[in-house]
A and B are shown apart, each in its own frame.
Chain A
């Protein structure tokens, strides 16, 4: 089966610009996660979905970040007015069922905000 696909692979922005990241999970996986991984740190959960519903977005900076999964398949993470502190790799992962702990990760989008 195809893995988790993310695009773009890289993005370079000036502060204040907006950017969107796209994720296509493994077909049939109902749970989708977005993680932020700053350089030399472990991934930190931003938000996760079961189908189209947000399960937990408590760690998502709501003033500038938004995430949607309108049909319960692909997902988009958007940053409005990026800041230098947003520089990180953004990882998408999926799992077959909510609560199943085997996560499959995409290659990530590496964001640099200048």
Chain B
């Protein structure tokens, strides 16, 4: 089965609403990263977060290893937050990252 699963697959918000994106993994974890991808654009790293909670502006990432999950919280969403959010893990099997399927976020004005 898939090692990394993301939910929801898609999400539509009104500007100003908050969002909670989930990433669940079925294998051991060495590190967890969150990426942002604009349609037709490259991936931009948001967080490198192997455990605990990290903040960056309106974004918060929390990884709980023993529960095999990581979340990305977006507060006060803006239309420019629209795009795909991807989580990726490294499970000690070398340097490669295994990605989830992504959450496609649309923020309407």
Contacts and interface: CB of A to CB of B under 8 A. Distances in A.
Interface of A: 3-4, 31, 33, 35, 40-45, 48, 55-56, 91, 93, 95, 98-108, 110
Contacts of A100: 95
A101 B95 CA distance: 7
Given A102-B45, A107-B41, A42 B86 contact: yes
B102 A42 contact: yes
A48 B95 contact: yes
Interface residues of B, number: 25
A38 to B, nearest CB: 10
B42 A102 contact: no
Contacts, number: 62
Given A93-B43, A95-B95, 13 more contacts: A31-B95, A42-B99, A42-B100, A42-B101, A45-B97, A48-B95, A99-B94, A101-B33, A101-B95, A102-B48, A103-B33, A105-B42, A105-B44
Nearest to A33: B96
A108 B42 contact: yes
